[in-house]
């Protein structure tokens, strides 16, 4: 955030609200950690359901209202591909998609949040290691074969929330995998923060949600705890399969265009009809 944006965000925020939210968030998280750890250890079906409940409650705690447009693909394992502008995308998408995330390997070593990612059975990949693409594809494929849906951020980094970066195509190789006798379903998803206390965010205040570049995590996270209610829009686009495209690059380009159009609609205030609060 620029100095001007940071000053404005602090003026809108409430330290008292921030302290209360932080306390409730930590209490809720510490309550769910042993339950999820047990579910994972026992390979219980609850290991997929607990994270979605966790994220739904976290969204309420943080004052994030999630507006859903379109229809989530529900048949079998699905590879969801989305734009990425913040660690808050995990909470928002995790609240509406029963699945595990694909994250860069560095996240596994983050204090606290790395442990949470492991408990959600995140698939960690080394994005810069071209030689390991086949192994990473196989790791993703094994999870899909096991029936798990995955959430992939193909931009490879977070953006400012106002645009969608080009999609990296390497991990789209997993789309060639067949689940039983049919190709893997791939569904593009757009996510965009649009309102703060009911007022359009605009470019100036979207960094209150977006975390990118050289922003420090702790001050940004505290700002999120102190702010009022944020509205984040999620749009599910029509699912596709690799069979409709000539290559994984063509599939990635299609998904990037669909996601970019959804983000543009959301930030411009001209969304498609049929929103589900």
Q: What is the pLDDT of residue 276?
A: 44
Share of the chain above pLDDT 70, in %: 91
Q: What is the pLDDT of residue 41?
A: 95
Q: What is the pLDDT of residue 272?
A: 61
Share of the chain above pLDDT 90, in %: 68
Residue 277's pLDDT band, with cuts at 50, 70 and 90, is very low
pLDDT tens for 74-133 read 888 999 999 999 999 999 999 999 999 998 888 888 889 999 999 999 999 886 655 566
| Count of beta carbons in the 10 Å neighbourhood of residue 254 | 17
Q: What is the pLDDT of residue 126?
A: 80
Q: What is the pLDDT of residue 162?
A: 86
In order of 72, 175, 184, 256, 261, the CA distances from 244 in angstroms are 19, 11, 12, 15, 20
- Residue 210: name the closest of 85, 62, 65, 87 by CA: 85
In order of 44, 47, 270, the CA distances from 234 in angstroms are 29, 24, 14
Q: Can you tell me which residue has the tokens 């909470």?
A: 91
36, pLDDT greater than 80:
yes
pLDDT tens for 229-249 read 999 999 999 999 999 999 999
- Alpha-carbon gap, residue 186 to 191, rounded angstroms: 16
Q: What is the pLDDT of residue 214?
A: 87
What is the chain's mean pLDDT, rounded?
89
Q: What is the pLDDT of residue 111?
A: 87
Residue 275's pLDDT band, with cuts at 50, 70 and 90, is very low
Architecture in CATH for domain 3-268: 3-Layer(aba) Sandwich (3.40)
């Amino acid at each position: 955030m620029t100095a001007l944006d940071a000053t404005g965000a602090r003026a809108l925020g409430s330290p008292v609200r921030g302290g209360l939210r932080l306390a409730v968030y930590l209490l809720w998280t510490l309550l769910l950690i042993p339950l999820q750890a047990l579910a994972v250890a026992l390979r219980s079906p609850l290991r997929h359901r607990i994270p979605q409940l966790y994220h739904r409650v976290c969204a309420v705690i943080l004052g994030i209202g999630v507006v859903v447009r379109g229809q989530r693909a529900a048949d079998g394992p699905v590879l969801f591909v989305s734009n990425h502008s913040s660690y808050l995308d995990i909470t928002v998408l995790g609240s509406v998609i029963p699945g595990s995330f694909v994250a860069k390997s560095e996240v596994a070593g983050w204090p606290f949040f790395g442990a949470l990612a492991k408990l959600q059975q995140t698939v960690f990949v080394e994005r810069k290691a071209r030689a390991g693409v086949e192994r990473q594809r196989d790791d993703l494929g094994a999870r899909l074969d096991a029936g798990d849906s995955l959430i992939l951020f193909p931009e490879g980094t977070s953006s400012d929330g106002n645009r969608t970066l080009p999609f990296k195509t390497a991990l789209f190789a997993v789309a060639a995998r067949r689940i039983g006798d049919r190709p893997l379903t791939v569904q593009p998803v757009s996510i965009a923060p649009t309102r703060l206390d009911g007022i359009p965010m605009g470019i100036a205040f979207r960094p209150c949600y977006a975390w990118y570049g050289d922003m420090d995590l702790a001050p940004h996270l505290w700002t999120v705890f102190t702010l009022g209610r944020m509205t984040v829009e999620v749009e599910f686009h029509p699912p596709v399969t690799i069979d409709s495209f000539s290559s994984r690059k063509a599939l990635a380009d299609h998904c990037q265009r669909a996601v970019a159009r959804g983000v543009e609609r959301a930030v411009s205030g001209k969304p498609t009809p049929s929103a589900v609060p």
